[in-house]
Amino acid sequence: MKLVTGLIVLAAAVVPTIAHAQDEGAAEVIVSAMRRNADDYSADMPAVGLRRTADFAIQEVTITGDTRDAGQRADEIYAMLANAIAGASKAGVQLAFGERVVQAVTLKNYRDLSLERDSRPDSQQLKFLVKSPLAAGTDAASAQARINAFIKAVKPVGRALMEASGDLTLSVVAPDQYRGAIADAIAADARTLSARFGPDYAVEVEGLNRPVEWARAGLSEVLLYIPYKLVIVPKR
């Protein structure tokens, strides 16, 4: 796909969304410090994209239990998770799971989360995510404080212990919804470059049919972009 300035067409706004693994572009996705893993994309991040506040701050949380009896140990861990689910709404947070695509943890599915071996004998752990929305006036630091307060407030069960693990990350809901805004930014940049090079040159943009990508751009912000290629060419 090419885009020639002078007659710039926002093609990305009308190109059908490409289906990615697990429908990532239409789901809530986790944004780490690195760009999304994709073998068939260039490693070069374009200069132009859409920078915006993420939708959620996300903290990985681990519940660990070391009760000797395996059945009782599992019951205690899941019961503490159920307590967390029950108290999440009042604390202004949400529970979820997933490594890339985020899905809600509810009282209907919480026992589907798998217990894992811990480093100690007769000990197991269960990992999930706690989300705090990044609404107006709420930055990542405020969200972290809210999540930490929630973790401390969850009522323990037996020998189960709940604590944060890892660093705070971010998530964006349905990144493909921003294709049009990203295309607008690319088109504006292409027009500016075309004007700088004069009437004898045009700008071609390729790759706007690719899926939206994402990367972390600050404490509370993400960069959404399409890995396009921009080329200055003489007019024929």
For the domain covering 56-172, report its CATH number.
3.30.70.1440
Helices 140-153 and 70-91 cross at an angle (nearest 10°) of 130
- How far apart (Å, rounded) are the C-alpha atoms in residues 56 and 33? 15
pTM of the model: 0.81
**Which tokens belong to 96?**
């979820």
- Domains of the chain: which residue ranges? 56-172
- How far apart (Å, rounded) are the C-alpha atoms in residues 110 and 106? 6
The pLDDT, as a whole number, for residue 33 is: 58
**Gyration radius of the chain over CA positions:** 23
Cβ–Cβ under 8 Å, residues 59 and 130: yes
- Taken in order 147, 165, 152, 118, the sign of the CA dihedral is positive
Along the 236 residues of the chain, how does pLDDT read in single tens digits? 444 433 333 333 323 332 343 468 889 999 975 444 444 444 567 889 999 999 999 999 999 999 999 999 999 999 999 999 999 999 999 999 999 999 999 999 999 999 999 888 889 999 999 999 997 778 899 999 999 999 999 999 999 999 999 999 999 999 999 999 999 999 999 989 888 988 888 889 998 999 999 999 989 999 999 999 989 888 87
**Which tokens belong to 15?**
């190109």
- State the first-to-last Cα distance of the chain, in angstroms, to the nearest integer: 18
32: left (phi over 0), alpha (psi -120 to 50) or beta: beta
Measured CA distances, 183 to 119, 179, 226 (Å): 48, 6, 8
